[in-house]
């Protein structure tokens, strides 16, 4: 039934971070490979930055999935802003050290000295811009021990650039910037995602013009594209059920794309 | 699911809004084009009508120049139906001018009045169609010819009377100024033997009058006695140092004065 195809297509674009949904794009793959290479180098910290929705979380998720079989790796999707909680989480995950009381920086350093590991565990910190300056300074000191490596993902804003300057500039670190998709990349991204879910009919609905329109609305931002296309297929789903004569199931309607853009706030109408 | 009908309405509003700039730009462009076309047509109309004004002005100039003689009827005839029929560029090549034969005749009559009239008429030039030119010519000629006949008669009578009167007076008082006047008059009338005689008489009475020596020498040249004229002038220059005499001598020697 066609409706189920639209439903499936809609679900493809649910805004979730799952390494399984990672779409292989040439430029993105190159960046991902460079990130993987950086992790193998004796760097204390790696900075992954970019605007919201450029795929930083997906990168970390994918990295965790890919390296977990060969390397000790821990991924903290949400920031642990409380210092004690952060240290307790590190102690528990890395050294199986359970502590009900508060844990301070001196204690975690002592735990690290007492517990030796074969390899250097990799800690992935997402949304690092939410960590306080004091905690970031302590994370830097932890990385200086070379007992653990950090991959820090943060949004690229002016203030976050300042954080990067203050905390990481003097360290040996590598920074990788993620950007929005280009027009041709966006087309591949949209269609690959649908085809992965076997939604071939829906994938064929997109013409170059409809991709152009979507690109003009989302500027190639993956998150915005996901939101937009989720709503597009939701509207298609509704028309299919209630007024099928109004839609052409072979061609993506610009009207519906614009309606979806109005709904998600990409068009101010 | 969303309220699709509401979403459709919002989409419609958005489309209308997004089309407003395009529509307004298009409308403005069309309006600008129309205005431009109108202006263009108007300017073309103006350029077509302009020559009419210019022509009528020029014709009026003719009227002023010939004011006492030309009739207004002539101007009325000139004005204009022709403009519609005749191409504008042709009009520029056509001149309205009096007959040059007529002017020559006037000059030969050697009356100052005639010369001045003639000059005035000669200067009058304007642009009219050939048709107009013919008409105006006819009228001018007829008018001026009448005048010419009358004035010619009167002036000749005056000149002869003047000379006779002055000679009579000269015989009474032997004034060299009178004899010089007679010499000049005869020279002007081309009676060089008489002008020579009266200049000679003047020189005998007063040999310091520049004009008298000059008329004397000129008369000699005109009578074919060029060498004698040169000799006379050289002698006169040696004691008078007259610049006018020197100038005349140069002209005679260079052949400019024959």
Domain-embedded: residue B222: yes
pLDDT classification of B42: cutoffs 50, 70, 90: confident
CA–CA gap between residue A111 and residue A124 (Å, rounded): 20
Domain-embedded: residue B26: no
Burial (0-12, 13-18, 19+ Cβ within 10 Å), A254: middle
Structure-token pair, residue B81? 């139906």
Domain-embedded: residue B236: yes
CA–CA gap between residue B2 and residue B235 (Å, rounded): 131
pLDDT (0 to 100) of residue B59: 47
pLDDT classification of A217: cutoffs 50, 70, 90: very high
pLDDT digits 0-9 by tens, A72-114: 999 999 999 899 999 999 999 998 888 788 889 999 998 888 8
DSSP A181: P
Domain-embedded: residue B122: yes
Please, how many CA atoms are within 13 Å of residue B243, restricted to the half-sphere of its CB? 0
C-alpha pair distances (Å), B21 with each of A262, B10, B30, B65: 19, 18, 14, 64
* Tokens 């930055």, located at residue: A49
Domain-embedded: residue B243: yes
Count of structural domains, chain B: 2
Please, how many CA atoms are within 13 Å of residue A251, restricted to the half-sphere of its CB? 9
pLDDT over 70 (residue A43): yes
CA–CA gap between residue B252 and residue B239 (Å, rounded): 20
Greater confidence (B63 vs A20) lies with A20
Q: Return mean pLDDT, chain A.
A: 87
pLDDT (0 to 100) of residue A218: 95
pLDDT (0 to 100) of residue B73: 43
CA–CA gap between residue B255 and residue B128 (Å, rounded): 44
CA–CA gap between residue B215 and residue A104 (Å, rounded): 140
Alpha helices in chain A (DSSP H): 2-12, 26-40, 56-67, 83-95, 105-114, 133-144, 158-168, 183-196, 200-204, 208-218, 222-242, 254-264
Nearest to A259 among B1, B8, B17 (CB): B8
pLDDT over 80 (residue A132): yes
Domain-embedded: residue B8: no
Nearest to A269 among B2, B4, B14 (CB): B14
Average pLDDT estimate for B90-95: 50
Contact between chains at B2 and A263 (C-beta distance less than 8 A): yes
Handedness of CA A52, A191, A26, A63 (dihedral sign): positive
Domain with B113, as residue range(s), is 51-155
**One domain for residues B149 and B55:** yes
pLDDT over 80 (residue A28): yes
CA–CA gap between residue A2 and residue B123 (Å, rounded): 100
pLDDT digits 0-9 by tens, A182-201: 999 999 999 999 998 899 99
**CB proximity A127 to B under 8 Å:** no
pLDDT digits 0-9 by tens, B162-192: 888 888 888 888 888 899 999 999 998 899 9
Contact between chains at B10 and A259 (C-beta distance less than 8 A): yes
Q: Which residues of A touch B14 (CB under 8 A)?
A: 258, 262, 267, 269
Q: What is the ipTM of this complex?
A: 0.77
Average pLDDT estimate for B91-105: 57
pLDDT over 70 (residue B227): yes
**One domain for residues B61 and B136:** yes
pLDDT classification of A125: cutoffs 50, 70, 90: very high
Average pLDDT estimate for B12-36: 90
pLDDT over 80 (residue A173): no
Choosing among B11, B13, B19, which should be mutated to test the A contact, i.e. which has the most A CBs within 10 A? B11
pLDDT (0 to 100) of residue A2: 55
pLDDT (0 to 100) of residue A41: 82
C-alpha pair distances (Å), A213 with each of A222, B170, B174, B203, B206: 15, 119, 121, 116, 117
pLDDT digits 0-9 by tens, B111-124: 444 444 444 444 44
pLDDT (0 to 100) of residue A87: 92
Q: Which residues of A touch B9 (CB under 8 A)?
A: none
Listed by start position, the domains of chain A span 2-18+181-264, 26-178
pLDDT (0 to 100) of residue B164: 86
- The fold for domain A26-178 equals Rossmann fold (3.40.50)
Size of interface A-B (CB pairs under 8 A): 33
């Amino acid at each position: 039934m066609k409706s189920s195809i639209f439903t499936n297509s809609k679900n493809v674009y649910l805004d979730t971070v799952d390494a399984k949904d990672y779409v292989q794009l040439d430029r993105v793959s190159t960046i991902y490979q460079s990130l993987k290479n950086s992790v193998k180098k004796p760097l204390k910290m790696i900075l992954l930055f970019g605007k919201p929705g450029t795929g930083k979380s997906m990168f970390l998720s994918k990295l965790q999935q890919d390296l977990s079989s060969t390397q000790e790796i821990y991924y903290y999707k949400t920031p642990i802003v409380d210092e004690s909680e952060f240290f307790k989480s590190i102690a528990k995950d890395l050294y199986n050290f359970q502590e009900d009381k508060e844990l301070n920086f001196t204690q975690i350093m002592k735990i690290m000295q007492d517990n030796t590991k074969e390899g250097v565990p990799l800690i992935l910190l997402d949304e690092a811009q939410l960590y306080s300056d004091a905690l970031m300074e302590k994370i830097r000191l932890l990385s200086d021990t070379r007992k653990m490596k950090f991959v820090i993902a943060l949004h690229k804003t002016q203030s976050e650039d300042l954080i990067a300057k203050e905390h990481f500039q003097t360290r040996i670190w590598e920074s990788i910037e993620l950007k929005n998709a280009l027009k041709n990349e966006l087309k591949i991204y949209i269609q690959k995602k649908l085809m992965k879910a076997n939604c071939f009919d829906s994938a064929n609905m997109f013409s170059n013009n409809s991709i152009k329109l979507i690109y003009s609305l989302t500027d190639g931002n993956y998150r915005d594209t996901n939101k937009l296309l989720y709503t597009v297929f939701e509207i298609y789903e509704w028309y299919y059920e209630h007024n099928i004569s109004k839609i052409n199931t072979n061609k993506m309607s610009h009207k519906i794309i614009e309606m979806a853009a109005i709904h998600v706030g990409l068009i101010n109408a | 699911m969303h309220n699709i009908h509401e979403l459709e309405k919002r989409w419609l509003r958005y489309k209308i809004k997004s089309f407003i700039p395009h529509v307004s730009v298009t409308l403005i462009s069309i309006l600008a084009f129309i205005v431009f076309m109108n202006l263009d047509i108007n300017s073309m109309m103006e350029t077509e009508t302009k020559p009419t004004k210019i022509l009528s002005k020029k014709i009026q100039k003719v009227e002023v120049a010939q004011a006492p003689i030309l009739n207004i009827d002539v101007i009325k005839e000139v004005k204009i139906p022709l403009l519609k029929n005749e191409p504008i560029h042709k009009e520029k090549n056509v001149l309205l001018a009096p007959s040059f034969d007529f002017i020559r005749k006037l000059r030969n009559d050697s009356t100052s009045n005639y010369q001045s009239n003639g000059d005035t008429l000669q200067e009058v030039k304007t642009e009219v169609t050939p048709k107009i030119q013919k008409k105006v010519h006819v009228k001018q000629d007829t008018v001026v010819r009448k005048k010419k006949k009358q004035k010619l008669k009167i002036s000749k009578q005056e000149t002869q009377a003047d000379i006779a009167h002055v000679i009579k007076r000269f015989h009474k008082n032997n004034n060299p100024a009178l004899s010089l006047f007679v010499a000049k008059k005869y020279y002007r009338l081309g009676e060089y033997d008489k002008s020579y005689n009266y200049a000679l008489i003047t020189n005998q009475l007063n040999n310091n009058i520049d004009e008298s020596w000059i008329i004397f020498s000129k008369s000699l040249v005109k009578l074919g006695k060029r060498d004698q004229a040169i000799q006379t002038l050289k002698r006169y220059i040696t004691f008078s140092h007259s610049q006018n005499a020197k100038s005349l001598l140069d002209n005679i020697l260079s052949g400019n004065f024959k």
